[in-house]
Amino acid sequence: MREVKVIGVGMTKFSKFLDIGIEELGREACWKAIKDADVHPQDVEVAYCGHVYQGSCVGQRILVELGMTGIPITNVENACSSGSAALRDAYIAVASGLYDVAMAIGVEKLYGRVQGALAPDKEDLEGDLGLIMPALYAIRARRHMYIYGTTPEQLAKISVKNHRNGCLNPNAQYQKEVTVEEVLNSRMIADPLHLLDCCPIGDGAAAAILCSASVANKYTLKGITLAASTLKTGTVDTGFSDADICTEDLTQRAAAEAYEKAGIGPEDVDLAEVHDCFTIAEILRIENLGLCKPGEGGRMIDEGRTEIGGDLPVNASGGLLAKGHPLGATGIAQVAEIIWHLRGEAGERQVKGSKVGLAHCRGGAVAGTEGATCTVQILKK
Amino acid sequence: MKNKEKSNEKVQGVPFRKGYFTLGEDPCLIGTKCKLCNTIFFPPRVICIRCYKEDVMGKIKLSRKGKLCSYSIVWQNIPRYKSPYVVAYVDLPEGVRVFTHLTDCDPSDLKIGMDVEMVIDFLRKDEDGNDLIGYKFRPVLQGI
């Protein structure tokens, strides 16, 4: 397998866009990535478009705006990991030697499409029984509190941190700080998770250009190596009572393969963008990615270790909580964020001297499993 | 969430899934047990996903009582269920973990690890307005 570099990234602001359609959002992100990579649109040989709810052939509907149809385009759905799964497909396309230059797009318009809360498909047993994603995580939050003594205040501090980081990110949906009191007083969604413990509904797009390291310098010297891109799916374990619902086997497996492929361990990660769809999710992820020990997630936020200035910055972008979570766009936006830090282009939220970044996405729910999908990308300067 | 105590036999409606639970006064969940590896699954399975074989599953009635693994009170309004409602994982002695609703309880009395028992209850209406019934769990009444 060949070495693959990410040579260009781009994203739109994430927000609720009443009057901007998905094709326009996608076009904006793709054009930014193409300009960033300094490629000609006709150099892109294959494209993958991650999304969940945007309907048939959305990748083609976007790329026709750029004169980039004609090439193989595949649309990818993997719940909240759709964008990162599309990125992985682009990675495989190049690493395998089949193509030199590939594009990954991630797009979503949720505003006006999703009412109430995201939930599994209603044919899924748990979806049929009224499981909504906030409740799935709330159940785990309560268990985490029971086993480790994690508190609602510690969860709230994660929302505070990520909202503060969002203020430094011009693309973030929310650029306003919140306090612990405001989080704890916000409307209860699924006990113990309040509104400000949950990521918002929103729209947006992101794109990345990948190419073989052997030709990257033809376009730009800013290429960053995509050292690993893994995808795993959940096995039937929540169906059994001996499973620990705070152990994310899915995340652990995706991470283990990524660390091995990249030749690093969790201690080598300089910054991480993890799937903080809910505050408890950030704790579960840093524990299960091996970035801290099980049960230590609460202490990490108490001690400020996951702040931008801390020893393990997590979600410098504002995370899903403040940057937003247009489902298909998220995985690629996380990678864009890490690329900016590794290049030294992250502005006021720059994690200084960062050389290794990790992006983690976790998506979907399938009854009896602890989750549908998980992706881990590792980028190295 | 706190309903009047009512007999399981009095709950009328269409089971929301066929073959997942029995009706009557002492209802229980129906799982499947693999004859080869003895693993018990709920909901019922056709293929044993440990042995990767078909034609090895037999139906098994599961225990009515279990332990509360964790829960959450859902306040968000969603189209098909009336909030607030309580969702939970319940662990049964056969080694299965069931996603379910809790009923007949005051949420402030709920404790992880408490004993709960299965009941049949109204779940929601289907698209044609028929009552759908399903399994829920409630705290085991103490002192009885």
A187's tokens: 């409307």
Backbone φ/ψ region at A79: left (φ over 0), alpha (ψ -120 to 50), beta? left
Substitution target from B76, B94, B110 for chain A, most A beta carbons within 10 A: B76
Residue A239: pLDDT band (50, 70, 90) is confident
pLDDT for A368 beyond 80: yes
Decide if B41 and A239 are in contact by the 8 Å CB cutoff.
yes
Dist. CA A304–CA A298, nearest whole Å: 10
Dist. CA A208–CA B83, nearest whole Å: 41
* A121–chain B Cβ distance below 8 A for any pair: no
Dist. CA A93–CA B35, nearest whole Å: 44
Decide if B100 and A125 are in contact by the 8 Å CB cutoff.
no
In total, chain B counts a number of residues equal to: 144
For position B11, what pLDDT does the model report?
Answer: 84
Task: Dump pLDDT digits (tens) for B51-78.
Answer: 999 999 999 999 999 999 999 999 998 8
Strand pairing report for A224-233 and B40-41: unpaired
pLDDT for A265 beyond 90: yes
pTM of the model: 0.94
Q: How would you label A81-104 residue by residue, b for 16+ Cβ within 10 Å and e otherwise? A: bbbbbbbbbbbbbbbeeebbbbbb
pLDDT for B8 beyond 80: no
Strand pairing report for A46-50 and B131-139: unpaired
Burial class (CB in 10 A: 0-12, 13-18, 19+), B18: exposed
| Nearest CA-CA distance, residue B29 and chain A, Å | 14
* A243–chain B Cβ distance below 8 A for any pair: yes
Burial class (CB in 10 A: 0-12, 13-18, 19+), A346: buried
Residue A6: pLDDT band (50, 70, 90) is very high
Q: How far apart are the first and last CA of chain A?
A: 19
Residue A237: pLDDT band (50, 70, 90) is confident
Decide if A132 and B88 are in contact by the 8 Å CB cutoff.
no
Q: Is residue A320 classed as helix, strand or coil in its secondary structure?
A: helix
Q: Are A319 and A307 in contact (CB under 8 A)?
A: no
Dist. CA B19–CA A171, nearest whole Å: 50
Residue B138: pLDDT band (50, 70, 90) is very high
Dist. CA B78–CA B99, nearest whole Å: 18
- What phi and psi, each to the nearest 5 degrees, are found at residue B15? -55, 135
For position B4, what pLDDT does the model report?
Answer: 46
Substitution target from A188, A233, A240 for chain B, most B beta carbons within 10 A: A240
For position B56, what pLDDT does the model report?
Answer: 95
Task: Dump pLDDT digits (tens) for B83-94.
Answer: 999 999 999 999
Task: Dump pLDDT digits (tens) for A70-103.
Answer: 999 999 999 999 999 999 999 999 999 999 999 9
A164's tokens: 């503060």
Decide if A243 and B97 are in contact by the 8 Å CB cutoff.
yes
